Amino acid sequence: MRDILPAAMLPSGTNSLYLLRLKARQAVRGMPNPDFSAWVDCFVAAPDLETAGSNVVHKLCPKGFLIEECEPIQQIDPKSWATLIRGRYALASAPLPSEADIARLIETGGVLLGPFSDWEEP
């Protein structure tokens, strides 16, 4: 679920937790229909907003995703992780990161992708 970041993207200093909600389309492989797009929540541990955005681009673009829209980046309090997950993904069937996973992410830096949702035709 999480990729190792290149040396240039490794965190320097204390990381914060960010949520970037993106609308993405994968034209090459992996999605049910390559012309469809979906929303995905990207949880990013990074020292600042700019690094968080850059890390998401470096995770999604090499996998063939085209980012079509991005909602404003939100900083998340890691202490509210369990409440956020219960409220945001009450019906999700996929396993979601635990509080321990988030603590490790904040310590090491990186990107976790939530489930893809709200599929849309072009």
> Got the DSSP string for 46-92?
ESSHHHHHHHHHHHHGGGTEEEEEEPPPEEE-GGGHHHHHHHH-TT-
Provide the pLDDT for residue 48: 94
pTM for this predicted structure: 0.78
Domain boundaries, the chain: 7-120
pLDDT per 10-residue tile (average), the chain, 122 residues: 42 81 76 72 94 92 86 93 85 78 92 80 66
Give me the residue label for tokens 């929303």.
Answer: 39
Single-letter amino acid, residue 81? W
Provide the pLDDT for residue 7: 38
